[in-house]
Each structure stands twice: as C-alpha cells, then as structure tokens.
Amino acid sequence: MDAQGRGQAGDNNVDPADQWVFDPNTGNYELRLDPSGRGPARPVDRKAPGRRAEGDPGAADGDTDTRPLPVQRAGQKAETDGDDEAPKGGRAARRAAARSGSAAVAGAAAGRRRPKPKRSAKRKALYWTAGVVGFVLVAGCGTAYVLLQQLDGNIKKVDVGEENSAVTDGPVNLLVIGTDARTGKGDTGYGDTGSLGHADTTILIHVSKDRSNASALSIPRDLITDIPDCPTKQPDGSTKVIPGQQQVRFNTSLGQEGRDPGCTWRTVEKLTGLKVNHFMMADFNAVKDLSDAVDGVEVCAGKDINDPKSHLKLTAGRHVVKGEQALAFVRTRHAVGTGSDLSRIELQQQFVGSLIRKLKSSTFSSPGKLLDVAQAATKALTVDTGIGSASKLLGFGNDLKQVNLEKITFATVPVLDNPRDKATVVLDTAKADPLFKMVQQDHPLAKGAGKGGGAKKDAAPVKKAPPELVRVDVSNGGGPFGAAQETVDWLQNSKAARLSTNAGNAPEKLAATRLEYAPNQADQAATLAEWMGLPKSALKKTGADAGARVPMKLVLGKDFTAPGSPIEAPDETPDGVQHVSAGDKNICAK
C-alpha cells in the first residue's frame, strides 16, 4: 500500500504530494483522493507538519518535522494483517511514498506557523484552574506590586497636617472613626438627612510599645467636651482654621462647621492626653462590606431583640450576621440595655471583637478571603497621609498584628449623666483620669496583666524625710498653665513643705513628670514621690551628693494634671469602668 491505497492504487500518475491540500478555513492539511481536487476531502485532525513552533524541543536540529504523516500511521494500522507482516504494496513502495509525501508537504508548509490546536472544555477548565492557583501562589511575590497598585486606587486620604511614619518603635495610638454620613450606596435610610457626617462611633486603639497588648477606648458620641481650634486643608490647597467650641457634644468634632477628621484627632488628644499617630474613618458601608467579605460575624443576643428603628430582629442566642443585618446590630440601642448610646457601644465592642476573632482564626489563612477583606476595607476607608497607600497600610498592619487576641481589651470612657441635659453625658474624672494614665503609661487594661506580675519584690522602703526638710524647686515643663505655682501653693499649704519654690518654666517640654535628686536626698524624694503619686520611672538619681541648701528639681510634664492627683497609673482597670476582652466569646447583648 502507498499513499494512494484508498481507491487510487492503480493510478501511478498521481503524485502523493498533490493529494494533501491546505485548507485556510480550518488550518489543516486535508487528504483529497480525487486528483482533480473536486472529490471529497478526508479531514485529518492534525496541523500541518514541517515547521515546528518556536521553542519546540524537537526543533534543535532543524525546522522540518520528520515524523510520519498521520495518514501513513493510520494506513499502517488499517492495512497490516499482523505485527510482522508488511503492508500490501510492499515496504519499499510504502517508504518511497512516505518520503515523497513528507517532502512535498514540508515544502507546502514552509514559512507557515502551525495554528494552535483547539482545547476541549475539560482542558480549558484545567488550564483556568491552574492559572488561578498560580496567581494565588505568587500573590505575595511578583504580583504583589500589581495588587498593591489596585488597592491604592481604593484608598481615600485626608491631609490633617500630621504625617507620622506608618511604622514606629514606640506605642501606637490609632483613632477609628465611624460616621453617620448617608453617602454610601444603599445608606439613604440611615443617619440624619443632610448631615455631613458626625463622629458617630469613635474608638481610640492604643497598642503597647512591645506590641504585647492593646487597649481600645470607646468615646461616647454624646459626651460634652471642648473642641480645639482646627486647621483644615481646603480644596484650593490653602489652610483654614476652624474656631473651637467649648462644652459641646463630642460628635460635632467632625462634619460641623467644615471640620475634618483632623478636628476629631485634636479633640481626642485634648480629652485623653494621648498623642494620636493615625486615623481611619469609615461609613455605614464598611460594616456591611467587611461582614460580607468574611462570610458573616457571630454575635450573641441574651434576649429576643426587636428594634423597629434599626430594623434588627434577633431571637435569643447566637447568630451570624452580615450585610444589612450586621449594620442593624451595631446601630441598635433602643431594644438593649438602657436604650442609650452606652448600651450600643457594648454591642459594637462585641461585634468588633468577634470580627477580629474571625479574621485571626480563618480569613487570614485564605489568600482569596484575605483579598476580599483587603478590597472591602480599602474601599470603605479614609485615612491620614501617613498610611495613605496600600504598602504603608501593609507595613502598619504587619507591625500591629503581633498583638495577642487575648490581650486586646475594650473599655468605655467613664461618664456620668449630665444634670443640665439628660440627653448628654459628662466625663467621670474620678475614673477617667486613672484610666487615661494607664494608657499614657503603657499599662495594659487586661485583668491580671499588670506590670507587677511576676516581678521581684521591691527593696526595703527608703526612710522618708519630714515635711519641713523637703526642699524642691518646681518648674513647668508641659503641665497646665500655672501648674508650677499651683503645686508650690499645695505643697506649702497642704503638706507644710515650706522649702518649696516656683522655678518658672522648664527649658524643655517633657512628656512625663521628672524628679531629680542627689543620693543624700533619697529620703526627701521618697516623701515627695508619695505626696505627688510619682511612678518609679519619674525618679532620677544624680551621681554625687548635694549640699545642704541645694534643692531637688521637680519638672511637671504633660502627664501632670493637678497637685494631689496621682501621676502614677494603676496596674488594674479602675473599678466601675466597663471593659471586655476581645477574646471573650461569652458576651451577649441584654
């Protein structure tokens, strides 16, 4: 048998090469048994041989495909009676025809690229799956830059006049602001009509210097406080200072009179005495989108809840909420607790704690989920310029993710009912001051996590000097105006320390109050430290003894509030301050 063996074996004038015709419609060479070209063609499911695709391993010795044509292999199988029997027509005829046909086809195909074979649906699915897996595998490598660029486009930022580094060696104070603006898609049913957005939900998150713990202070929106003057960037690039106000609601620190997040930033610093590093602001969509991205957040209701104002309906027990239902949960207040904003704060703390647990336990282990969360978060966020890019946010997040979930404590800034207006509250300074001091001095709020745990017992107490021998110069290095003279008056009149003197303003500002004393003044220092409530970190002993009439030096820092108010922070959260752990799964709204 030769290439003409199918019905044309007797026609010796037919050139085998003429029987192979290239069809431009299919990209295949077809076998035409009618030499006139008018007969039916036999399609062959193989692309034109001859020139290999670039990069084909078999092309090392040339660009001609020397494999037998498919019809030859088919003919061999069809016309062979046994493994050892030669095909009809003889081996020589077959080989001659093969050589002739191959050469002719190679010439016809010269210069043409073989069209790519079509893939079956199954093979397409396999290739697509492999591509997705490949993307996931390299998402943290070569494609990370592309991903960060995409997330960059989601982030909105505001220049508040502060551009702190995304990563710092010291403690970090992050201000999280939730607004009641009705600008988000589907948010027209929430908030106040026409409102520019208030500081509706505000949480100051303090992360300790060693990243071992974090404290989250919820600030009631109806707290009466002072709002300082606020410089704000205008659309034309200029800066406008918005005048401050005294004794107004905290939530008016944003949106009212054109105030931006920088105004809330400065209000929180004035209220707590803490230096804010960064802010993140989000509207209603953040809760909906983030809860959707993590496939819901588990919450607990201690009783049936039916709040027609927030549209929240839950039976007693545990539920997984997301989207509109999640937003209703964090906004409800009339059907829980006392029906006040303070009760709503407790629901928000429960929700955020559960969200953190969900993120830590499962979402971060899935690249796909992590991408969903990143997309949802960056689209919902407005941040300061210090963390105003995806790469900066990534560095910021990596720095803070070291905190143990069990060491994240939520607390509400303690307040009292306002006797002048029952719809508002005022600061409970007796509880708030020591709470703020704990955060200022980097003390954890978690129970049993005080700085004294496991430490060696203190050395024998130093003998204290009588009041009449305490000699000290007092200067103001960051305390309130007139603090030095107020302290001297208090020492002389309340403690009978007649040898105390006002030394005026200190040459430099100090974040923390400091007492410098000589070794032979240790007894005087012990007496004064007890009166002032100074922490051990405030005591600085010099190298040489001092003369009999040389005074100690007390410099009042920014942590000083008033004489008689201890500067030393407590080691445990003050009694009566509402606080919960983010790791507590047994919190239920009642």
Out of 71-75, 119-123, 148-152, 206-210, the most confident range is 206-210
CB count in 10 Å sphere of residue 515: 21
The alpha carbon of 18 is separated from its chain's Cα centroid by a whole number of angstroms, namely 70
- pLDDT tens digit sequence for 36-92: 544 544 444 444 444 444 444 444 443 333 334 344 344 444 333 333 333 444 444
> 283 and 409, same structural domain?
yes
In a domain, 489, yes or no: yes
User: Is residue 148 located within the same domain as residue 160?
Assistant: no
Residue with token string 């040389």: 550
Report if residue 2 sits inside a domain. no
- pTM for the model stands at 0.65
The answer to whether residues 328 and 369 belong to one domain is yes
Give the largest Cα separation in the chain, rounded. 136
Element housing 492 (H / E): helix 483-494
Could you tell me which of 559, 532, 554 has the C-alpha nearest to residue 484?
554
- Are 482 and 410 part of one and the same domain? no
The string of pLDDT tens digits covering residues 138-193 is 223 334 455 667 788 888 999 999 999 999 999 999 999 998 775 555 444 444 44
- Which position has the higher pLDDT, 561 or 549? 549
CA dist 4 and 96 (Å) reads: 12
Q: How far apart are CA 219 and CA 207, in angstroms?
A: 17
Q: What pLDDT shows up at residue 20?
A: 54
Under a CB-based contact definition with an 8 Å cutoff, are residues 164 and 386 in contact? yes
Q: What's the domain range around 412? A: 156-440
Residues in the chain: 590
Residue 503 pLDDT more than 70?
yes
> How much is the average pLDDT of 339-347?
91
The set of residues, in sequence order, having a beta carbon less than 8 Å from that of 266 and lying 6+ positions away, is: 227, 228, 230
The 10s digit of each residue's pLDDT in 444-478 is 987 655 553 333 444 567 889 999 999 999 999 99
Instruction: Assign residue 366 the CATH number of its domain.
Output: 3.40.630.190
**H or E, element range at 459:** none
Per the structure, the count of domains in the chain is 4
The CATH number linked to 492 is 3.30.70.2390
Residues 317, 413 within the same domain:
yes
Closest CA to 160 of 345, 328, 384: 384
In a domain, 473, yes or no: yes
Residue 24: predicted pLDDT = 58
324 and 471 together in one domain: no
